[in-house]
Structure 1
Amino acid sequence: MTEPPYLHIAAAIRHRIETGALRPGDRVPSTRQVVRDLGVAMATATRALAVLRDEGLVVTRPGSGTVVRTPDPPARRRAPVQELTTDRIVTTAMAVADAEGLEAVSMRRLAAELGVGPMSLYRHVAGRDALEVLLVRAVLREHPLPEPGPPGWRAKLELVSRVQWRAYRTHPWLPELISMTRPVLVPEAMAHTEWTLQALAGLPLPQAERLREALTLPALVRGLAASVAAETRAERETGQDNHEWWTTLGGEVRALLGSGRFPHLAAVQGQTLEDMDALLEHALTRHLDGLEMRLRAATSAGGSTSR
């Protein structure tokens, strides 16, 4: 089977990098230069450079364009023990992301982990963006929603929120791949929204309000999960847990709180937020309490609902 043009372009630039013609920090041909020199479409040139980024060979830096990346210490290639499949690639990518964060996942790293050449991965996964979609789908398949679910709208909304929370806690990198404004349009993600809308379907609320509720609740869960993910990343990068980080700021904190400018903060000094699961339950309970009051008002105005 003839390889697509973007892979030939990527191979040519890769060869220049591997032979030393392009060294770490050197600029590689821009997409406009590739279009001009080779007469290909902009989409082809863009995809060629994306392949090199996926492999960890180049990085894009503001003001410098796309340059050759300084290589990591060589990873020991493992002998393949199974046939290479999309599922194996996704499983390996998930393991790397769980252990080291999403930023550690590159096509070159996965190839080393799987004991194959980087280009062989592209026969199964189109690139980094496609891999991220597959990761989201795999996680959501791990956390299915029951049908029909528990009785009552509140129990259903509690369940879907906790299922999503477990997915985020199991895979802390997941919030990076979930967007409320540009959602991943895959069946597994759409099923969560459909399930939530079904839970809200019989409530005496306008359709627009039900939609806002179906978007607000997962946004609340994702927002808390993103905070957990940021803390996980900070611990990995600094080697300090949250308590140790606050300890290093002890003198600065005491000075600020002792200034008299922040009396309410001073009153809770020393109380740190460590139980994020409890914070999720607090936020979820208060949110649904508010929704229940809204429904009572709507019911008294002529609608009907059930708990």
Structure 2
Amino acid sequence: MEEQAGPRYRRIVAELRQRIETGELAPGDRVPSTREIIRQWGVAMATATKVLTELRREGLVRAVPGVGTVVEARDRTPSRPAPATRRPTTARPGTSSEASAGAPSETPSAQALTLARIVTAAITVADAEGLAAVSMRRVAAELGVATMSLYRHVADKDALLARMMDTVFAEQPLPADPPEDWREQVELAARLLWKLFRRHPWLAPALSVTRPQMIAAALPFSEWMLSALHTRGLDLADAFTAHLMLFNYARGIAVNLETEQEAEALSGLDSEEWMDTQVPALQEILATGRFPMLSRLAMTGYDLDLDALFDFGLQRLLDSLATLLDENPAR
């Protein structure tokens, strides 16, 4: 058959096309994401992306920001705006689509292209597949528009990334009334930051300490920390240093989130399953007797939990700050 002789992605496309045509995947059902395609068929990210792109080109599926790629309805008529996803270069002039920006629409592909939609689609891709999967072309494909139409709203990928970071920080506002105790204030902000990193694994590696991006929605975190520590007697420089220490501590642990997500997608093994494959090599090393403490730990076992690791380190850092502020560390 042609699918068997052609590139690998064509065989996957043929299989998914058949599942759609036979009704196994009904209109509105989610089709496998790129990550699921990688896992099920053992292909690279580029191949998985090409599969979904081809299905969208054939009009079999459409991207729904915040949901994923779903099977397209089959009862659409040519007079409806949905075909814009198949012919983006002729269906996206700036007149009729932009004039209907405020009008309700049954499908996101029929809505006017806006900066908010572009940013939401980019965040959705980054959350599911990592920041490396985000490109102007990929975001345009998710929205069913021509790549060049994005540049009317955002200059380039760097500008898009800045908008993405600003958007996710705005998701997690600090409370209007902070706790009275400095330790509670600092801990609250640190945990909100960790929650953001957990929700968006790409965020931590995207942020920089040495070349900080000007993210307006992130500035309240800095202001909050400075206020909590400066009012307790630290000068502003030391308070800001303490803020950077806590920020980079959370970020340093969180950078493992995206790399683990990528490794799991490529290998098909979660961290525990991967560690199981390393047991023979570890036992061989420990059998030399050179590492008695590690041997004892291996006997009892150790469960690496990033949330627990974050919590342990956060409390120790707060204890140290309490000493700096001439207080007894909380227990």
Number of positions where the alignment pairs a residue of Structure 1 with one of Structure 2: 230
Query: Are residues 1:287 and 2:317 paired?
Result: yes
Question: Aligned Cα RMSD in Å?
Answer: 2.0
- TM-score when normalising by structure 2: 0.66
Alignment of 1:89-128 (within 5 A): 89-128=118-157
Q: Say which is worse superposed, 79-88 or 270-279, in terms of deviation.
A: 270-279
Q: By how many angstroms is 1:249 displaced?
A: 1.4
Alignment of 1:62-141 (within 5 A): 73=50, 75=53, 76-77=56-57, 78=62, 79=85, 80-141=109-170
What corresponds to 2:250 in structure 1? 221
Write the distance in 1 (CA, Å) between the matches of 2:131 and 2:247.
21
Alignment of 1:24-35 (within 5 A): none
What corresponds to 2:268 in structure 1? 239
Query: Are residues 1:164 and 2:141 paired?
Result: no
Q: By how many angstroms is 1:183 displaced?
A: 1.0
Gaps of 5+ in 2: 1-45, 63-84, 86-108
What corresponds to 1:194 in structure 2? 223
What corresponds to 2:288 in structure 1? 259
Write the distance in 2 (CA, Å) between the matches of 1:275 and 1:165.
14
Once the two structures are superposed, what CA deviation does each residue of 1:79-135 show, in whole Å capped at 9, x if it has no partner? Answer: 322110000001111111111111111111111111110000000111100000001
Q: Which amino acid aligns with 1:143?
A: Q
Write the distance in 2 (CA, Å) between the matches of 1:122 and 1:105.
15
Once the two structures are superposed, what CA deviation does each residue of 1:213-238 show, in whole Å capped at 9, x if it has no partner? Answer: 01100111111111222222211121
Write the distance in 2 (CA, Å) between the matches of 1:116 and 1:201.
50
Ranges of 4+ aligned residues in structure 1 off by more than 3 Å: 69-72
Q: Which amino acid aligns with 1:290?
A: S
Q: By how many angstroms is 1:72 displaced?
A: 6.0
What corresponds to 1:274 in structure 2? 304
Q: By how many angstroms is 1:144 displaced?
A: 0.7
Write the distance in 2 (CA, Å) between the matches of 1:211 and 1:165.
19
Q: Report if aligned partners of 2:225, 2:239 keep a CA contact under 8 Å in 1.
A: no
Q: Report if aligned partners of 2:121, 2:142 keep a CA contact under 8 Å in 1.
A: yes
Q: By how many angstroms is 1:155 displaced?
A: 0.3
